[in-house]
Structure 1
Amino acid sequence: METSGVNYVFKCVIVGDSHVGKTTLLGRYMGEPSTSGRVSPASVSRQPFVQKLVHTRGGKTVELKIYDTLGQERYRSLTRSYFRDAQCCLVCFDVNNPSSFEHLIEWMNDINKYIGDNHESRTAKLIVGIARQTMSSYDVPNGLCPRTSVHYCQPVTHDRAELFATQYNVPYKFVNIHDDDDVAMCFEAVVEQKVQELDKEDACLTLGQDSVDLRPGRNGRQSSCC
């Protein structure tokens, strides 16, 4: 990948239960059709990650290295090495699989264990509710569960997911896996979140170096603005 003109290089990890659509989400972002199956683009590339350039609203260019779990999550075997140095993290569940939503607590605990919570972590996080069915299926109060054609379950509502995300101080986004804009916005949102954080830090450092505290009784330079 051509790296000239790149402002940042971010590692992005994707976590969540098996069969919630993580690999499909990544594949769709890399340009694959939603019917392409469950082969990870990372597996195809024979690399632990795939790369894509993201252009932010502020004119920055980010080289995003996106890591897939490659099935390790089913054994709860993700370790610190998977999360290490991640600037971005997508925490996924299937909106039509309530158990995958309930397991978000465990995933957030793992993330806080290996990365740290939002008060101490430098990793931008986004909770992602993935809808893998066509939108017409959500007109039915009790949608068809993805793992069976017999039993039905109540989809996770937007309000419920928003409330959970708020409790962890993490943004939430609903993603229709068949919508190209939805898929792209999912990754772009977490990148924007991280870039804004870094830009704020840069502004604080610049202000800290150049500004003088003019309040009564103070004539020294400020060390920071944050």
Structure 2
Amino acid sequence: METTGCSYQFRIALLGDAAVGKTSLLRCYVAGARGSAEPEPEPTVGVEFYSRALQLPAGMRVKLQLWDTAGHERFRCITRSFYRNMVGVLLVFDVTNRESFEHIQAWHQEVVSSRGPDKVIFLLIGHKCDLSTRCVSTQEAEELAASLGMAFMETSVKNNCNVNLAFDTVTRAIEQALQQGDIKLEEDWAGVRLLQRAPKSSRSSSRKQASGPCQC
């Protein structure tokens, strides 16, 4: 989708351990690629960038700059340098990998520590919900998300389950926080950039709260 004509640019990152499916999620969202039709992507080295335009319900068009970050410890010094310029974060774990779930709080704390009082929109993602070998329950993940003050959603690239909804949910939450003044435009910060001024229009205050298990 062309990114011309967008009013804002939002920078959103995917964080989590290696091999939880961050790259597959991004590719599925940006290109509509189905996990079952493509080979497993190579591990990300450092940070890779994707982009997509999204038309919000109220009429605003935004450009999403999406960051795919490496989960291996040896790349953490690289990924940490990008934390200051994130406005949205998808914290991703693999529902079949207990350790990746247990590391979520550490990933969250790294971002919070680097951002200070500045607001970041988080969404907890339990990926690979199509697999029957899960070892993290939906209830447990929901409880962790609630304790960290964020919503939770389960996704599957194989079934294309909730992939678009996950990114759309974060984007709409950023847009709402921006309109309410919880997130502010700053000249020296690239988390949110004003690309062009949009004409004023009536806005709807309703927004679907998307959270919970995968609805495959």
TM, length-normalised to structure 2 = 0.73
| Structure 1 segment 17-56 matched on structure 2, within 5 A | 17-30=17-30, 31-35=32-36, 36-39=38-41, 48-56=48-56
Higher relative contact order (CA 8 A, sep 6+): 2
Give the number of the structure whose alpha-carbon radius of gyration is greater.
Answer: 1
Counterpart code for 2:122: K
Contact 2:16–2:71 (8 Å) recurs in 1: no
SS of equivalent residue, structure 2 residue 52 = strand
Is the alpha carbon distance of 1:78 and 1:164 closer, same or farther for their aligned partners in structure 2, counting shifts above 3 Å?
A: farther
| Structure 1 segment 128-207 matched on structure 2, within 5 A | 128-131=125-128, 133-134=130-131, 137=132, 143=133, 155-180=135-160, 182-201=162-181
1:18 is displaced (CA, Å) by 0.5
Contact 2:3–2:52 (8 Å) recurs in 1: no
Contact 1:161–1:172 (8 Å) recurs in 2: yes
Q: Deviations over 1:19-62 (max 9, x none)?
A: 1111111111122220323437x98xxx9411101122222111
Is the alpha carbon distance of 1:37 and 1:84 closer, same or farther for their aligned partners in structure 2, counting shifts above 3 Å?
A: farther
Residue segments in structure 1 that go unaligned for 5+ positions in a row: 138-142, 144-153, 203-226
Report the equivalent of 1:61. Answer: 61
Report the equivalent of 2:214. Answer: none
Contact 2:11–2:87 (8 Å) recurs in 1: yes
Is 1:12 paired with 2:12? yes
TM, length-normalised to structure 1 = 0.70
2-side partners of 1:19 and 1:3: how far apart? Answer: 29
Percent of aligned positions with the same letter in both sequences? 29
Q: Report how many residues are paired.
A: 178
Counterpart code for 2:90: L
Q: Which runs of 4+ in 1 moved over 4 A?
A: none
SS of equivalent residue, structure 1 residue 68 = strand
